[in-house]
Amino acid sequence: MKEVQVNVPGHSYTIKLGSGVIKDLPAELKRLNPSSCLIVTNITVGSLYLKKVSELCNTVCRTESVVLPDGEAYKDWNSVSAILEKLASMGADRKSVVIALGGGVVGDLAGFAAAIYMRGIRFIQVPTTLLAMVDSSVGGKTGMNMTAGKNLVGAFHQPEAVIADSDFLRTLPEREIGAGIAEIIKHGVLADKDYFEELERDMEKLRALDPETVAEVVGRSCEIKAGVVSRDEKEKGERAKLNLGHTFGHAIEKLTGYGTWLHGEAVAVGTVLAAVTAEKQGKINRDDVKRIRDLIHRAGLPVRISGISAAKAIEAMKGDKKSTKGVPHFILPVAIGTTVIEEVPESLIREVLLEEGYQP
């Protein structure tokens, strides 16, 4: 087992990583001394793991569950409301604890509900996807989508613990594995050249879920994100760099319909687009752009998208959370392992999109 510490002002917690670490959930609950627990999951994960996790939680306190539909299309107020209504009907109080059992969507929804129920109750992240283990379960971002855009409603609400059991990955579809690898590659591009080189060396092992490789990679990605979050919890500066590929990616998700493209798939294309944009500005050399594109392709991920409107994509990006007065900000790699945050002329963004497969 590996442990990574996350320290933010007024709060700290531990990420526990490894095979079989779900057994530590009762100990984490005992430490919190909850009056009751609510497990939030979706129909897919629930059919696999809800019974086991419920049994573990019931050894500590009365435990109930709510099972949501599966998919990004359900990351909305209806799902948040279902969690809140369940908390109220079961008599949850300020000592209750929410357990988020699932991927990034479940974690965001459960965390957001915990953030606003009785003005904030505690929650634990139990991520079951690779993407959630290396990214969304760490750092306290919670929320839901709106028709106008992704994650436009939410709160910063840090978990009490993250328990990332790699055994859960055995039931993960190959496409979901790729989505998680997209965020892993992102970490290498934005923060750690040596890590990126390790991913180039070990990509086939990672895709095959080689246990030693998974342990090393998940641990390193969590260390990178935990370090950034500890220095900038509320995304006032450095933490924004974790959104590499996301300004482009969120527009892809919105325009194709939430759930059509997995979040990681959209981020993969977005990362390529960010690199191409940086190259056109003379910020990064062509060889590094090729290495980024090639590694994403080797991960089984898309490197471009066709058939969506560049004009609509630009409008969607103007409504992104990282925009100011309607002007989007982009995280651009200037070398593998180093990024900057900048405004980019709309004309250049349009040029990049059209060259990379978009329609006018």
Annotated active-site positions, please? 119, 141, 183, 225, 235, 239, 243, 246, 250, 263
Q: What crossing angle do the helices spanning 211-231 and 193-207 adopt, rounded to 10°?
A: 140
143 φ, ψ (degrees, to nearest 5): 160, -170
Amino acid at the residue 265: E
65 φ, ψ (degrees, to nearest 5): -145, 160
CA–CA separation, 72 vs 76, rounded Å?
A: 9
Give the Cα-Cα-Cα angle 137, 190, 326 (nearest 5 degrees).
80
First-to-last alpha carbon distance for the chain, in angstroms, is 50
100: phi > 0 → left, psi -120 to 50 → alpha, else beta; which? beta
The alpha carbon torsion through 70, 139, 293, 298 (nearest 10 deg) reads: -60
Residues ≥6 apart with Cβ < 8 Å to 167: 19, 20, 22
In this structure, are residues 244 and 266 in contact, taking their beta carbons and an 8 Å threshold? no
CB atoms within 10 A of CB 76: 16
